[in-house]
Chains A and B, each alone.
Chain A
């Protein structure tokens, strides 16, 4: 209900909304003496009515003057009001833009977020927490710093929540790295890890364009992928040594030879009489192998006793085209190549349990590990999660081999029945 504005006259608007016990879904902020609408939240009465807008000043609610009031008091007051609320509004814009159509974007979070610990969230009560791997449905990106979103499977929540936008989170991450960079540098030096790590330049001036945004863990756009019966996703097991990864793979392969298969590796070693080319290995001359490495045809490769060994993309694709599930144990460094292929891998991280249980599990297999060995395994696991966690689809903490196996098999069965969130680029190409 808006009184017809007259030329040159200051326009006020009266808006009536029915409010139940839930908030009407708008935020307010103080601007000097005024109460101003900060944002309209998707899903609430304010948004549905289309009558309130960001920047509008609320002069009165049910004839109670709002000027000079603190937002906290107004918020408390309105929380206790139900029924018809009559707002007297001083609109910010003379010409209201038609509400934008928002298309939903689905993203996978690559970082943990807790709004309770965030100094910068504009409205804490709207913040939603999430952890790495959670799927978020982003429905409004109008504010460049704060997106409105629902967490997956919580779309029935009336009001959307606030999450930091990709660019805001990137800026914050860069900032964190510049501040704590030196500390991390020291910490990494003291741990004697043999892994090759890409060192970021820690002393960068703030300028996001200098930094490869793929290296900053924020969000990744995802889309739903429906299982295809004749195109099974390869299952990739990742994990530190001695966490039972090889045992899990062996059990899987032996459980059903018609369902699971290994990719036939390449080697530059000469074929032995008992071996069949294309079954035991693809036997190729060294110069061919080397050319294939240069051509990025290998997911991973290595040298053993002066011979090259490797797993090619083609070998994995062959298993897929046979209608089988290719089971791979790979180094995490291989994930990037695999992800950029058309193979749609499903990556399972096998994590070691806590130290004492790891010790007991290894002892069961006659492996009496030293304290340092155990710590090294756990530390390697942590590093892998830290550096490659954004590639993982699923994490199994291997507390008990039988249980871990059951969990893995159940997860693989689910892959063939239910749609999954995969990088959106896999479906666009």
Chain B
């Protein structure tokens, strides 16, 4: 499953053109993009 997520992510990375109008029309898809994007790395101090 992780592999699929990685695949989905890399697809997103290469094809990713920011298209706010498309996101607006699909509404919740915006949220999905947020979930998929790994957060900035945090390190423990």
Contacts and interface: CB of A to CB of B under 8 A. Distances in A.
Given A24-B45, A119-B2, A206-B32, A29 B26 contact: no
A74 B41 CA distance: 13
Contacts of B44: 23, 25-27, 41, 75, 123, 125-126
B41 A71 contact: yes
B42 A39 contact: yes
Interface in A29-50: 29-31, 38-39, 41
B12 interface: no
Interface residues of B, number: 22
Interface string B1-41: 11011101100000000000000001011011001101111
A117 interface: yes
Contacts of A26: 44-45
Nearest to A125: B44
| Secondary structure type dominating chain B contacts | helix
A250 to B, nearest CB: 41
Given A117-B2, A119-B5, A205-B26, A175 B42 contact: no
Contacts of B28: 205-207
Interface string A64-84: 000000011011001100000
A168 B37 CA distance: 12
A171 B35 contact: yes
B36 to A, nearest CB: 7
Contacts of A205: 26, 28-29
B1 A38 contact: no
A159 B39 CA distance: 21
Contacts of A175: 5, 32, 35-36
Given A205-B28, A206-B28, A123 B43 contact: yes
Contacts of B43: 27-29, 71-72, 74-75, 123, 125
Contact of A120 (B1, B26, B38): B38
Given A23-B45, A74-B43, A180 B4 contact: yes
A299 B31 CA distance: 41
Given A30-B40, A205-B28, A78 B45 contact: yes
Given A171-B35, A206-B29, A206-B32, A179 B45 contact: no
The CB with the most chain A CB atoms within 10 A, among B9, B26, B38, B41, is that of B41
Given A71-B42, A125-B43, A119 B6 contact: yes
B40 A29 contact: yes
A29 B4 contact: no
A280 to B, nearest CB: 51
A68 to B, nearest CB: 16
B40 A179 contact: no
A336 interface: no
A368 interface: no
A176 interface: yes
Contacts of A78: 45
Interface string A166-185: 00100110011001100000
A171 B8 CA distance: 15
Contact of B42 (A28, A117, A119): A28
A195 B38 CA distance: 39
A72 B42 CA distance: 9
A74 B42 CA distance: 11
B42 A38 contact: yes
A119 B3 CA distance: 11
Nearest to A79: B45
10 contacts: A29-B41, A39-B42, A71-B41, A79-B45, A120-B35, A123-B41, A125-B43, A126-B44, A176-B4, A206-B29
Interface of A: 23-31, 38-39, 41, 71-72, 74-75, 78-79, 117, 119-120, 122-123, 125-126, 145, 168, 171-172, 175-176, 179-180, 205-207
Interface of B: 1-2, 4-6, 8-9, 26, 28-29, 31-32, 35-36, 38-45
Given A23-B45, A122-B40, 16 more contacts: A24-B45, A26-B45, A28-B42, A31-B40, A71-B41, A75-B44, A122-B41, A123-B44, A125-B43, A126-B42, A168-B35, A175-B32, A176-B4, A179-B1, A179-B4, A206-B29
